[in-house]
Amino acid sequence: MEQIKTIPKEKFSFVSGGDKVHDKKLDTKPVGYFTDAFRRFCKNKGSVVGAVIILVLILFAIIAPFCTPYSVAYKDAYFRETLPKSSLFAGTSFWDGCKTKEASKARFKYLFAMGEETGHNAVKNQEYKLTDDGMYRYREDSYYSAGCIYKNFTLEEYARLTKYQDETGVQVIYPTVRIADRPKATQDFEDANYYFKTEGTTRTKIVYDENGNVIPVYWTYKAGEDDSYPYNSLRIEGENGFEKDGETYYYAYARPVPTGVQCRINYYEYYVYNHRNDGIKKPLFLFGTTGDGQDILTCLASGARFSFIFAIAVAIVNMAVGAIYGAIEGYYGGKTDLIMERVSDILSAVPMMIIITLLKLHMGASSQILVLFLAFFLTGWIGMAGATRMQFYRFKNREYVLAARTLGASDRRLMFKHIFPNALGTLVTGSALVIPSMIYSETNLSYLGIINLSSGNITSVGTLIAGGQALMETSPHIALFPSIFLALLMLSFNLFGNGLRDAFNPSLRGTEG
């Protein structure tokens, strides 16, 4: 049998009849309502994780736009659908802005020749493998795949560009190609990456030398007989006049056009030159770019910031209006409640889509944000009013309320001093859960194109997802990052809302909020 533990005799002491025996004074401090709610919330690990994720997403929305040199309005036609790239992973096959591809010899040589000419390898590290079926497998660098382009400059712009070359030692302008040697096909005529010999009806079939290399067809001119525009700047390596048939020849770097000159430039280096005063040292997009050439990181952060601000603003307005409306309903009851409740029923019966359509027709397409705000406000406060009404019916006949009324408290004091604080927990929880639903609704509306928020420096998460949907096969990253953001937001708010409900209303723990 288990031994019974006894208390030693020395633990006991006699009490004289004159001693007063009383309870000791409590040393603990009183715990307030919100302090107690916070303690209960912290015990729910899932809710704490959800709150941390929400905080991270909010900080991302606030801070990220200030940490990138790009803006929502920024677009670049030559960096469309560019893959995500991080400098930390540049030497790996992950997050390096490259994509593994297989192509025929013609397509591969077209890209391989870019790196041979400029050193900017469209084929990463000029590494490739031949497959058993004669295809070339390689990793294509989306930052270098634009290669060279033809661009017209005024003489002043041309002078500034050549001066930049001389000062930095960076080759931007490359030898140009005569019109007669360019491809005939309309879609390829302005493709400046055809600097090599081609043949065929459209002159796009590459001609190789005996070693399997492309044959350059730069525009050359005999010394003293130049019909191109004078060029006195950095030349490509190994070219400063060459002998041919006993004559000295040079490469032409600029072709005269009515507005100035046309040059063949490496777009990567020209991009660096063109944005040197914008804080952009080189093109680098952490999340890649959209189909319009926008930086996804900037657009996502700006869209998230708009969603948070918009949802919180609507939630605050709806809570204020709904709380006042519901308080009047629940406190006075009777005919007042009946009439006000019927008004709520009529407004709640009108579909959101009809409200948005009517507002757009009345206010025009230039007031998309105001249309969205009014649409959410006109019906959004009804749920908050109903919750407040039920709480007032619950508490208005409690003893402390009756006592305050007996002592002469006014209706306003009874409503907002004695009853409303007891309903605050439910209202706060409801408001917190309204925020993600509004963000989700706003995302759906912009995704479907019902509301267009892409104007100037404003965009939305839904617009990004919609833009990436059509490019899922070729560029899934465009829709991936906005989708991850939305999924994390909805999941974390769900966890956070459940914890908030349990903290403010312990009696509802384990029930659906």
Q: What's the pLDDT tens digit per position in 369-426?
A: 888 888 888 888 888 888 888 888 888 888 888 888 888 888 888 888 888 887 777 7
pLDDT of residue 397: 83
Q: Which residue has the tokens 């659906």?
A: 512
307 phi and psi angles, rounded to 5 deg: -60, -45
Cβ neighbors of 259 (< 8 A, separation 6 or more) are 152, 154
CB-count exposure of residue 75 (10 Å: 0-12, 13-18, 19+): middle
CB-count exposure of residue 92 (10 Å: 0-12, 13-18, 19+): exposed
* Cα separation, 254 vs 174, whole angstroms: 9
* Cα separation, 72 vs 500, whole angstroms: 35
Reading the block at residue 40, the tokens are 């209960």
pLDDT of residue 411: 83
pLDDT of residue 513: 44
pTM for the model: 0.83
199 phi and psi angles, rounded to 5 deg: -145, 180
pLDDT of residue 123: 94
DSSP string, 218-244: --EEETT---S----S---TT-S-EEE
Extract the residue ranges of the chain whose pLDDT is less than 70.
1-5, 14-28, 31, 33, 186-187, 365-366, 456, 505-513
Which amino acid is present at 55? L
Contact 315, 492 (CB under 8 A): no
pLDDT of residue 367: 76
pLDDT of residue 4: 63
